[in-house]
Amino acid sequence: MTRATVLIDGNNFYASCEAVLDPSVIGRPLVVLSNNDGCIVSRSAEARALGIPMGSPYFKLRQQLQRHGVIVRSSNYGLYADMSQRLMATLEVWVEELEIYSIDEAFGLLHRPAATNGQPGDLRDWGQRLRQRVRRDLGLPVAVGIAPTKVLAKLANRIAKRDPLQGGVFDLGALDDPSPWLEATAVEDVWGIGRQLSRWCRLRGIAHARALRDMPPGELRRRCGVVGLRLQQELQGHPCLPLVSLPPAKQETCVSRSFSQPVTSLVELRQAIATYLSRAAEKLRRQRQRAGAITVFVRSSPFDGSSFYSNAATAVLLLPSNDTGVLLAAALPLTDSLYRRHKPLQKAGVLLQQLQPDSLLQYHLLAPLEPQQQRRREVLMATVDGLNRRFGSGTVQWAACGLQPVWAMRRSRLSRAATTRLSEVPLVRA
């Protein structure tokens, strides 16, 4: 029995999540916009067919979209993250090991059974069953690529997605000779080939994945060392990139946003920083970590030319903490030091650094901490997090965050939070 690597990837993930929530958009062109309703980041198949380009600014296409009756949605990250978790939980059952690679993409390992003639067996049926299961349980369309290695699984997934004859599943490992498929994949489209490397390949006449697989390894090694060799080995079907099942403990956590309109007052800037910090501290507590240092950064619009302003300030905490109150006390003075009266700011953020597990706390001689007081604060934080989880983010918040932020992200076309907020669960009248 041999091992197979599978890559499962959501089709038009954000747009598909919107359709799960609101079936009336199924079969209609729909696009999802990035933060502040900036650019198009996801398109339904129908929007794609209209030739609406990915990544283009919304304001430029507004009229064209209207003319075609395209449905426009602000990004609803709460919904996408929740659907992603459900997707990954389903996939976990179907493979022996799972590596969550991005919000809508995961690698899996499974055994490939041998066929009766001793040749490698075909996993297409398995892939189809998985695809139907995800469709039935979650309403999400996915493509399944199966191959001996990660690089080839990526390639197989691409074929599964693009070739209508494959029905969303492609098993490269079951073929006697995968060469024609590698030949049909441009070198730029091989996973791990950046723009520079693909230019280098093209100059050498290496135009597709097959040529890359068969080129002299010495040449590849001279150009990009062991990374290039690994990539070539993977293309040849020899696994070199292991699955990373457990995400490594995070060293840093960052929350930053662009403002919907330039921020010019210190009061507003402090509110924004306090809001981002509360979010970051919440993340930290969820990850069971404490931060040893905190950085606040601000910048004006990059189109400001000579008056462009960008600055950052860091404070090291005597005692690592994940207590929003403690972190705020460190962050707000930093914010004051960064503020300039005549510099309208477009973006700001908070970076929590020197993260460490909350099971270890190195006490500091100069920062005495009452164990009882410490415990009380922990209970308080857990209560706040619990309330916000249950009744929606921002139900309980620090006064420093402000009540009606004018700088908050623009999300004028947001769908409901029907999978994460009880009050927005749809009502069925029967």
In three-state secondary structure terms, 194 is: coil
Shortest Cβ 151–Mg ion spacing (Å): 17
Shortest Cβ 38–Mg ion spacing (Å): 20
Site string for Mg ion, 290-329 (x = CB under 5 A): ----------------------------------------
Shortest Cβ 106–Mg ion spacing (Å): 11
**Of 10 and 120, which has the nearer Cβ to Mg ion?**
10
**Of 8 and 274, which has the nearer Cβ to Mg ion?**
8
Q: Tell me the one-letter amino acid at 297.
A: F
The CA distance from 37 to 145, in Å, is 33
The CA distance from 88 to 95, in Å, is 11
Site string for Mg ion, 3-42 (x = CB under 5 A): ------xx--x-----------------------------
Stretch 95-134 residues interacting with Mg ion (CB under 5 A) = 104
In three-state secondary structure terms, 404 is: coil
Residue 142 binding Mg ion, by CB under 5 A: no
Task: Report how many residues bind Mg ion under the rule CB under 5 A.
Answer: 4
**Of 13 and 94, which has the nearer Cβ to Mg ion?**
13
**Of 36 and 42, which has the nearer Cβ to Mg ion?**
42
The CA distance from 330 to 295, in Å, is 9
Q: Quick one: CA dihedral 75, 80, 81, 82, positive or negative?
A: positive
For 218-271, where are the E strands, in sequence order?
Answer: 253-263
Shortest Cβ 75–Mg ion spacing (Å): 15
For 122-272, where are the E strands, in sequence order?
Answer: 142-147, 169-171, 253-263
**Of 54 and 425, which has the nearer Cβ to Mg ion?**
54
Shortest Cβ 169–Mg ion spacing (Å): 15
Q: Tell me the one-letter amino acid at 160.
A: A
The CA distance from 75 to 45, in Å, is 17
Stretch 235-254 residues interacting with Mg ion (CB under 5 A) = none
Q: Smallest Cα–Cα separation from 214: which of 197, 232, 202?
A: 232
By DSSP bridging, strand 105-112 and strand 97-102 are: antiparallel
**Of 108 and 121, which has the nearer Cβ to Mg ion?**
108
Shortest Cβ 21–Mg ion spacing (Å): 18
In three-state secondary structure terms, 173 is: helix
Segment interacting with Mg ion, rule: CB under 5 A, options 1-9, 123-131, 189-197, 302-310? 1-9
Q: Angle 380-386-392 (CA atoms, 0-180°, nearest 5)?
A: 125
Q: What is the DSSP letter of 39?
A: B
**Of 54 and 316, which has the nearer Cβ to Mg ion?**
54
Residue partners of 316: CB distance under 8 A and separation at least 6:
292, 293, 354
**Of 61 and 87, which has the nearer Cβ to Mg ion?**
87
Chain residues binding Mg ion by CB under 5 A are 9-10, 13, 104
